[in-house]
Amino acid sequence: MIIMKEFKGDVTEHRLPTLHKWQGRDSSEQTLEQSTKSTRAERVGIPIPVSIHQWETSGRPQVAVAVALAVVVYAMALGGSEAGKDQLLSLLELDEAAVSVSISGSQQQQQPPLVVGLSLIQSAASTGAVCLDGTLPGYHLHRGYGSGANSWLIQLEGGGWCNTIASCVYRKTTRRGSSNYMEKQLPFTGILSNKAEENPVGIQLRIINVSLMLSDFFNWNRVKLRYCDGASFIGDSQNEAAKLKFRGQRIWLAAMKEFLSKGMQNADQALLSGCSAGGLASILHCDEFRDLFPKTTKVKCLSDAGFFLDANDVSGGRTLRNIFGGVVSLQNLVANIKTPLFLLNAAYDAWQLQASLAPPSADPHGSWNECKSNHAHCNTSQIQFLQDFRNQMVNAVRDFSMSSQNGLFINSCFAHCQSERQDTWFANDSPRLGNKAIATSIGDWYFDRVPVKAIDCAYPCDNTCHNLVFK
């Protein structure tokens, strides 16, 4: 494990002994499987606004405009052709029928999570802030109380992208493109949990520690903003022929207006977070979010699994670069963000392995299928390829890590979106770096208790991972 600690502007690395047993806390090779709470996997890619009629640029990094322009260039090249359909990215939805979690130790019995109802933004229609199919966008809000009454956590939902007319039209028939198909209620787990302590194990000291570690956000106003524009809450365009509305930026603005009217304008603390496509959105909108509040408000951003690396795929091509028309590298977005930002990422990100490193278009013969389904089935050359990817990620965040205001937690797991699930956010056996769970690390960073710049050693040294296994 490498723990990067900031000291007077310098970053030093501390190596811990490599653990040869990566699966299981003890010497046992036994693994347990836990179904995740998610829905069916959907075939998706990157958004395709065919033309931009109007783009909101106020307060946004110029690179965000480049993202939108790149999407247009790529969409115009692909259109709705069969070649374009072949470029679809598989969305890692963590289908509970198709995915399980390989973890260490024994699982603890968890209390039923809080379930929060869906609200639609009624004012959105007047500004055209609508989903792909023209329906109203939605969110789930659980009110804060006590010391958290004036603190706000906004989580931007993830869910991949669509990159052709056909894929975006299909997306209209799912919760990712229409509020008609959104769940009316969602469980609030992980960073959205309302519990100060989760599953006490009967040891008083452990119970106290759990309470301290989870008390940072449990009583805040917590919001999950649903994702239905197909473009990480950016873009302002439409396709009349296909009856598609690409209104991500308008949805963002309408949602922020809604939350401000519900008390967020009085916030003394705020955190913008997001997972995957939502993690990318939390980077893109980070400085805009900061500008919503007075300077006296403590505002930071968290990107979970939103650091998409411009790396060679298994065929030697550049899947993500091709999707964005060669205009922009998503990994360079963080250099433009002025607001304090925390990057939470798995070094062997399961979505990137599935969708951008070894997608069917780059692996037509399926040589990577077993490795993608279960990392334990990867051969030596495949592991080396993944190690090279991990090294590129570590190198890509070095400049970012030099800023005293930024934070890092990059573990060597085959995972994706670790802040949303209770077992990875904080549990007795959740992933750790420097003996700190993700929840503790992010809390320490947000409240300026200690700097957090943690980068794991290379696979297979980490025995705390909750690795995704596809059936």
Instruction: In whole angstroms, give the CA distance from residue 313 to residue 320.
Output: 9
Instruction: In whole angstroms, give the CA distance from residue 95 to residue 329.
Output: 29
Whole-number CA gyration radius for the chain:
21
Cis amide prior to 364 (ω within 30 degrees) = no
Selection from 148, 176, 161, 141 nearest residue 46 by Cα: 161
Amino acid at 287: D
The helix/strand count (H/E) of the chain reads as: 14, 21
220: helix, strand or coil: coil
pTM above threshold 0.85: no
Is 276 one of the catalytic residues? yes
What pairs with residue 303 in β-bridges? 274, 343
- Sorted by sequence, the CB contacts under 8 Å of residue 380 that are 6+ apart come out as none
Which pLDDT score, from 0 to 100, does residue 326 have? 60
Instruction: In whole angstroms, give the CA distance from residue 99 to residue 372.
Output: 12
- Sorted by sequence, the CB contacts under 8 Å of residue 112 that are 6+ apart come out as none
What Å distances lie between residue 155 and 18, 217, 270, 326, CA to CA?
A: 35, 12, 11, 29
Q: What is the full per-residue pLDDT of the chain (471 aa) written as tens digits? A: 444 433 233 333 333 322 222 333 332 222 222 333 333 333 233 333 332 223 333 344 444 444 444 443 333 333 433 333 333 333 434 444 455 566 544 455 567 899 999 999 999 999 999 999 999 999 999 999 999 999 999 999 999 999 889 999 999 999 999 999 999 999 999 999 998 864 222 233 344 444 344 458 999 999 999 999 999 999 899 999 999 999 999 999 999 999 999 999 999 999 999 999 999 999 999 999 999 999 999 999 999 999 999 899 999 998 888 766 665 578 889 999 999 999 999 999 999 999 999 999 999 999 999 999 999 999 999 999 999 999 999 999 999 999 999 999 999 999 999 999 999 999 889 999 999 999 999 999 999 999 999 999 999 999 999 999 886
Residue 422 CA neighbour count, 13 Å, CB half: 26
Which pLDDT score, from 0 to 100, does residue 110 have? 62
Instruction: In whole angstroms, give the CA distance from residue 63 to residue 142.
Output: 33
- Sorted by sequence, the CB contacts under 8 Å of residue 187 that are 6+ apart come out as 37, 113, 114, 115, 116
Which pLDDT score, from 0 to 100, does residue 321 have? 81
Amino acid at 97: A
Q: Quick one: which H or E segment has residue 273?
A: strand 269-275
Q: Tell me which DSSP letter residue 202 carries.
A: S
152: helix, strand or coil: strand
Tell the burial category of 209 from Cβ atoms under 10 Å away from its Cβ (0-12, 13-18, 19+).
middle
Using DSSP bridges, classify how beta strands 453-455 and 407-411 pair: parallel, antiparallel or unpaired: parallel
Which pLDDT score, from 0 to 100, does residue 2 have? 47
Instruction: In whole angstroms, give the CA distance from residue 427 to residue 110.
Output: 9
What would the two tokens of residue 301 be? 């951003």
Catalytic residue among 193, 232, 276, 419: 276
What would the two tokens of residue 348 be? 């062997």
Which pLDDT score, from 0 to 100, does residue 36 have? 32
Selection from 125, 178, 138, 161 nearest residue 44 by Cα: 161
What Å distances lie between residue 307 and 221, 319, 399, CA to CA?
A: 26, 15, 14
Kindly report the number of other CB atoms within 10 A of residue 422's CB atom: 25
- Sorted by sequence, the CB contacts under 8 Å of residue 168 that are 6+ apart come out as 47, 48, 132, 162, 177, 230, 239, 242, 244
Amino acid at 252: W
Domain boundaries of the chain, sorted by first residue: 2-470
Catalytic residue among 416, 430, 441, 462: 416
Instruction: In whole angstroms, give the CA distance from residue 92 to residue 36.
Output: 12
Is 466 one of the catalytic residues? no
Using DSSP bridges, classify how beta strands 298-304 and 269-275 pair: parallel, antiparallel or unpaired: parallel
Which pLDDT score, from 0 to 100, does residue 330 have? 81
Using DSSP bridges, classify how beta strands 185-188 and 453-455 pair: parallel, antiparallel or unpaired: unpaired
Catalytic residue among 349, 423, 429, 462: 349
